[in-house]
């Protein structure tokens, strides 16, 4: 595959909405999850590119076999979102976005390697794709 993929992690309702936006725009993407059950559910929903990551085992954090365009992490918890940033940062020099409803963790995410912290009450960030 020569087309770059968008990586999505931390699937909240906003994350699922973002996936629908990507599907509508026919953009290639991979969903990261740290739950085998969620991986199975996503595949049943017709999302073929799901990558299970054991967030407690850094040795298992292998990058996908495709070029990464950008990473979007939808904050579900501070700890999990931090793990996803730590996991994805070595995979790409491209932008990592963390979408959060909290103001406080911005410095933490930046310190871990996120490029952009997007504060959103609704989680709607499809506008970030407008120039792509």
pLDDT at 117 over 90: yes
Residue 15 token pair: 């994350």
Average pLDDT, integer, range 94-122: 90
β strands within 1-132, DSSP E: 5-9, 29-33, 50-52, 68-74, 96-100, 116-119
Rounded to an integer, what distance in angstroms lies between the CA atom of residue 82 and that of residue 35?
16
Quick one: pLDDT at residue 9? 95
What pLDDT, on the 0 to 100 scale, is given for residue 2?
Answer: 46
Confidence of residue 108 (pLDDT cuts 50, 70, 90): very high
Which two structure tokens, joined as six digits, stand for 121?
């009450």
pLDDT band, very low/low/confident/very high, at 8 (cuts 50, 70, 90): very high
User: What pLDDT digit, counting tens, does each position of 41-99 carry?
Assistant: 999 989 989 999 998 888 888 888 899 999 999 998 999 999 999 999 999 999 999 99
Q: Residue 131's pLDDT is what?
A: 54
Q: What are the backbone angles phi and psi of residue 45, rounded to the nearest 5°?
A: -80, 0
Please answer whether residues 37 and 102 qualify as being in contact, where contact means their C-beta atoms are separated by less than 8 angstroms. no
Q: Is the pLDDT assigned to residue 102 strictly greater than 90?
A: no
Please give the model's pTM, rounded to 2 decimal places.
0.91
pLDDT at 30 over 80: yes
- Backbone φ and ψ for 105, nearest 5 degrees, come out as -80, 10
């Amino acid at each position: 595959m020569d087309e770059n993929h968008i990586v999505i992690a931390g699937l909240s309702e906003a994350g699922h909405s973002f996936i629908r936006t990507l599907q509508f725009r026919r953009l290639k993407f991979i969903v990261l999850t740290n739950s085998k059950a969620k991986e199975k559910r996503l595949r049943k929903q017709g999302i073929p590119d799901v990558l299970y990551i054991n967030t407690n085992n850094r040795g298992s954090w292998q990058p996908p076999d495709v070029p990464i365009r950008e990473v979007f992490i939808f904050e579900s918890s501070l700890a999990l979102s931090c793990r996803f940033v730590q996991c994805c940062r070595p995979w790409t020099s491209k932008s990592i976005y963390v979408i959060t409803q909290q103001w406080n963790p911005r410095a933490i995410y930046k310190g871990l390697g996120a490029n952009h912290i997007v504060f959103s009450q609704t989680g709607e960030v499809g506008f970030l794709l407008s120039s792509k």
